[in-house]
């Protein structure tokens, strides 16, 4: 916004009303030269600031998109959890189990895992 104000000041026709007297014209040109030197660093700083603000806006937009996508994933996962809240995982104790294995198979698996962990882990 400040850049537009400065640009509008530089295009103000009152600044370009040239004096008729040559001495006043020389003084006017020197003033214009000084004003140009004063405005140049401000213009450069403003351009750099606008560039950095645009870069920050881009990063913010990307982050906002990632957050929205993550929020949608969380909502989907939450809906799935809610759908399974009252679903039975195990049968009643007095009913037959839905999954069962013989104790011999369970023990063999246990000892094989124990041997594997002993060789892999220090």
pLDDT at 4: 52
pLDDT at 66: 96
pLDDT at 8: 61
pLDDT at 110: 92
Among candidate residues 80, 58, 81, 62, the one with its CA nearest the CA of residue 70: 62
pLDDT in tens, the chain (122 residues): 545 555 566 666 666 677 778 888 788 888 877 777 777 777 777 888 888 999 999 999 999 999 999 999 999 999 999 988 888 888 888 888 878 889 999 999 999 988 888 887 76
pLDDT at 74: 96
């Amino acid at each position: 916004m400040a850049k537009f104000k400065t640009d509008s000041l530089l295009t103000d026709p009152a600044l370009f009303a040239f004096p008729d007297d040559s001495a006043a014209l020389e003084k006017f040109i020197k003033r214009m030269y000084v004003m140009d030197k004063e405005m140049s660093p401000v213009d450069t700083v403003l351009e750099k600031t606008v560039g950095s603000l645009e870069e920050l806006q881009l990063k913010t937009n990307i982050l906002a998109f990632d957050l929205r996508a993550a929020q949608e994933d969380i909502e989907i996962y939450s809906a799935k959890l809610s759908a399974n809240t009252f679903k039975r995982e195990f049968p009643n104790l007095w009913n037959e189990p839905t999954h069962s294995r013989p104790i011999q198979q369970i023990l063999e698996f246990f000892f094989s895992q124990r041997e594997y962990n002993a060789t892999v882990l220090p």
